[in-house]
Structures are given as structure tokens and as C-alpha cells.
Amino acid sequence: MKILGIETSCDETGASVIERLPNGTLKIITNVIATSSDMHAKTGGVIPENAAREQVKSIIPVIKEAIQDLSEKDIDAIAITVGPGLIGSLLVGVETAKTLSYLWKKPIIPINHLVGHIYANWLNSKNTPEFPALALVVSGGHTDLIYMKNHGKIKYIGGTRDDAAGEAFDKTARLLSLPYPGGPNLGKEAKKYIDENPNKILDLFPRPMIHDKSFDWSFSGLKTAVARQIEKSTKVSEKERQMFSAEVQEAIVDSLIEKSIRAIEKYKPKSFLLAGGVAANLRLREKLQARIPFGNSGKLTHTALHIPEISLCTDNAAYIAAAAFFTS
């Protein structure tokens, strides 16, 4: 069985064909992405109207490339992101998927973008997640902890009360004069500092709500904290920029990990699934790998950590198609 996935929720236009093999695992046949990121770099962020116009230009070539020499007979269904996202961008994907569904007489499967992100973890055929699972979805607009009893049986257990983790990366990156896209660029600057100064993080920035019993976060205060630090210097040097980047990253990563581990200790899931664009962050990946096996108390958690390949963390259509296999 093969599903064509289409993803157009922001500035990436994605189309992917995923096949379910007889042993039940998923195989990526194609995964094509066009991005209008360079255009948004010029304006320092995504202008929704511009992103939607780029979606219109890219959608047909991207789908054609994803389908390659397959014909509609080879495709069993079309999976499409229906939200959350930028309305203009989403409409381009949804209308295209509806047209193809009508022409090809194939069912259309609507997928929530955030649930889709989680299914990037089902694209590793060697290590499929087991239930119950706990998922941390960290994207540009959302930071959510989700308990998954099974496919389709999901419960929200906590999330950000203001800015998302990705948004905190992006906004502090801008304050540090780092180019768009802020998150990955801040991650690169932070890595330079950590490589040169291992174990020298001073915990300069706050970790709000870290002692709060809920599984919620608050990241909006980081912007003010970074702005205050910058005000103290007449000019932020390259080395200071790297240091501040490492400190911001550590504050975000520590907050995410602390609550995740507490949730693991409470819910005792078989799997912990990292998902969303921020899952591409190397420090978050490394620290989770180090911390999850032993929890906060040092006792073994028996929770297996699943992290998608870096290229499958940020927006793409492979996980949208993957999610559709498990949506009845």
C-alpha cells in the first residue's frame, strides 16, 4: 500500500510517497521539499502572503517529482495537512489534494500537522515505537507533551503557556542579530561555544516554571532576559554571541528535558518520542539521550527514546503520509 503525503502548512512545500511493506514497517519511496526560506531570510521572518504565493508555484512540480514514474493506480490514498498552520499556505495544499482525490478517485486523509510530526518516529523501520508512548512536540508554534495510549488515543498533558520553544529560539536569535532561520543558526553558534568551552555553561538565563508541578512551560521571559544582557554591552562580540547562544539553548533544553523526565516518571511510557523542528537541535538530542535512561532519581526508566533523523524533524510530507497509515 502506498500513500502520497502533501504538506504546505508554512514555508515548505512537501510531497512524499510512503509504502507500507508486508512486515508492517514504512518505507520512504520519495520525500521532496521545496522551501521559500531564502526569500524569508531577506525579510527576517515568514510573511504569510509571500509564503502562500510560493506554495502555489511549487506545489505541482513538487508533487510531480515525488510521484516520479508511479501512476495514480499505484497510489492508494492522499494524506494532507489540514492545520495548524498559515491559512493561505494550507489552502494551497488542501485544494490540490482535493482536486487529485477527485480526479484519481482516491480517498483523502486529513492529518493534523502536530500529530503528523510525531509519526516521523514511525519512519525508522529498525526501531518502531511501542505504546503507551509519551511525545514531546517542539515546533515553531507549539510545545506540547502528549500521552499516546495507542494510535488515535491521545491526551494532552501539558504545553507552553506563551511562546513555543522554537519561537523562543527564533526570537532570541533575532535579538542576537543571527540571520533567519534563527533556531538552527543559534544552535550552530552555541555548538562553537560548547566545543571550545565544554562544561562552562553558567545558567545565565532563567528556566521558568521548572519547579512548577504542571507539565507546562513558559518561554516568553527569555526574550527579556536576553535583551537585558545585550543592553549591558555596547557591542556584542562574536565570542559573546556564541556564549549567549549556548546559554539560551541550555535554558530551553533544560526546561524541556526536566518536564519530559518528570512526565516519564509519572506515566512510565514504553517509548518517548521527540518530534518537531526543534528536535533537530543537537544539544536537545544529546542531553535527552544521556538523561532518559536514568530519569531524575537515577533509577532506570525502561522508556525507549525515539528521535527521528534530523532531515525528518523539520517540516516535510513523509511524516504526514506516515501518520495516515494509522488514521482510520
Q: Give the footprint of Zn ion on this chain (CB under 5 A).
A: 139, 315
Distances (CA, A) of 143 to 54, 150, 206, 250: 27, 21, 18, 16
Judged by CB under 6 A, does residue 158 bind ligand KG4? Answer: no
Q: Which one of ligand KG4, Zn ion, none is in contact with 116 (Cβ closer than 5 to 8 A by kind)?
A: none
When the beta carbons of 165 and 246 are compared against Zn ion, the nearer one is: 165
Residue 269 in contact with ligand KG4, rule: CB under 6 A: no
Binding mask 174-193 for ligand KG4 (x = CB under 6 A): -------xxxx--x------
Q: Residue 27 region, left (φ>0) first, then alpha (ψ -120 to 50), else beta?
A: beta
278 part of the interface to ligand KG4, by CB under 6 A = yes
Nearest distance in Å: CB 184, ligand KG4: 4
Task: Find how far residue 187's CA is from the centre of its chain.
Answer: 15
**Considering only CA atoms, which of 275, 295, 322, 323 is closest in space to residue 134?**
275
Q: Taking the CA atoms of 279, 280, 285 and 287 in sequence, report the sign of the dihedral they define.
A: negative
**Helix H segments across 122-237?**
165-175, 182-196, 221-231
| C-alpha distances in Å from residue 132, one per residue of 151, 193, 324 | 10, 38, 19
Query: By CB under 6 A, is residue 315 in contact with ligand KG4?
Result: yes
Q: Based on C-alpha coordinates, what's the Rg of the chain?
A: 20
Q: With contacts defined by CB under 6 A, name the span among 13-21, 135-143, 199-207, 229-237 that binds ligand KG4.
A: 135-143
**Contact between 276 and ligand KG4 per CB under 6 A:** yes
- Cβ at position 12, least distance to ligand KG4 in Å: 7
Q: Given the rule CB under 6 A, which residues bind ligand KG4?
A: 10, 139-141, 166, 169-170, 181-184, 187, 276-278, 280-281, 314-315
